[in-house]
Amino acid sequence: MAEDSIRKTTGRGRRFDSVLDTIGDTPVIRINNLGPNHVTLYVKAEFFNPGASVKDRLALNIIEAAERSGALKPGQTVVEATSGNTGIGLALVCAQKGYPLVITMAESFSVERRRLMRMLGAKVVLTPKADKAMGMYRKAQELAEKNGWFLAHQFETGANADIHETTTAREILADFEGERLDYVVSGYGTGGTVTGIARALRRERPETKIILSEPADAALIASGRAQKRNAEGEADESHPAFHPHPIQGWTPDFIPLVLQEAIDQGFYDELIPVEGPEAQKQARALAAKEGILTGVSGGATVAVALQVAETAEPGSVILAMLPDTGERYLSTPLFEAVGAEMNDEEKAISASTPGFQIG
């Protein structure tokens, strides 16, 4: 093979002072084998963050904003309610900065998340699945109030959407500078990603349509029913339109205050529901046909992007957000058809030559 045909790398041209400096600057990747030919589909792969999810960004900014304001004192314990990715992000940030961390999480979320957070030094307190996200949310509030811990407030803090406005959105704008970007597709957990991105795109790329999605089983926004809140803007009860859904990390049983800004300001052009099985199907397709391993939420955004592509004009460019990696779904239905032992086809391949066969 000619030397000039071999892929080469040159290094980043810098060294990093800590793992925290590697957060952000995630790649935009073209999808080549899925979707219609009349559009170009890209994904923004947030699993390239060190904690393998988009939530590393907000975790870092929540802690550093609290340090700057004095709300977080040296050595103070941090506590937060999370479905997992924010907890993993907070765990790596707190490990680097030396803060004890306690996570509250509903027992229904994947065990991989619990183990990752504990591996990173966090304590994980499980709450009953019957109490949904509101249960873990209120447990974190109770622990903060009783112990004087710093509550991260990912669902309400301005530090959440701010970091997406100043990093995620800036990266998208730079990567598509001078080129078409017709649609950006995102779901919501806290709402920080879509709110922060939309702030910047509405100012600087107003022609770009922002497509927001939520699970068909938990169509909170589509219901048109307002979220009840207390004086601090915190949700004080489950939203009546919520039903359990399989897209982990998306759509808790309340509308977060961070997302409310996007709703009130009209930061999305269309709201498209997505079914859980379709999200799982597209996550599997991304792995098998593109070599891109993402979670169910990533499969959901791609499913919606493909739906948008069906009626998009020729030449349209669509960007879908991929919030996390598929590896933290190994114990979930996403992987239920993927066995650990050889299937019949694999056994036949093994039997096609005489040696080194099992059994």
C-alpha span between 132 and 291 (Å, rounded): 33
Report the Cα–Cα distance between both ends of the chain, in Å, rounded. Answer: 41
Q: What b/e sequence results for 299-330 when a residue is b if at least 16 CB atoms lie within 10 Å of its CB, and e otherwise?
A: bbbbbbbbbbbeebeeebbbbbbbbbbbebbe
Helix (H) or strand (E) holding 270: strand 270-274
| Residue 43 Cα distances to 110, 186, 306, angstroms | 24, 11, 12
Active site residue 139: no
Is 8 exposed, middle or buried, given 0-12, 13-18 or 19+ CB atoms closer than 10 A? exposed
Angle made by CA atoms 238, 240, 243, in degrees to the nearest 5: 85
CB burial of residue 171 (10 Å; 0-12, 13-18, 19+) = middle
Strand order in the sheet with 183-186: 28-31, 40-45, 317-322, 183-186, 209-215, 270-274
Collapse the DSSP code of 29 into the 3-class scheme (helix H, G, I; strand E, B; otherwise coil) and give the result.
Answer: strand
Sequence-ordered list of residues with C-beta below 8 angstroms from that of 336, at least 6 positions apart, any chain: none
User: 179 phi and psi, to 5 degrees?
Assistant: -125, 165
| Cα(286)–Cα(264) distance, integer angstroms | 34
Catalytic residue among 55, 132, 139, 209: 55
Choose the catalytic residue: 110, 186, 213, 297: 297
Q: Is 297 a catalytic residue?
A: yes
Determine contact, residues 217/245, Cβ cutoff 8 Å.
yes
Known catalytic residues?
Answer: 55, 297
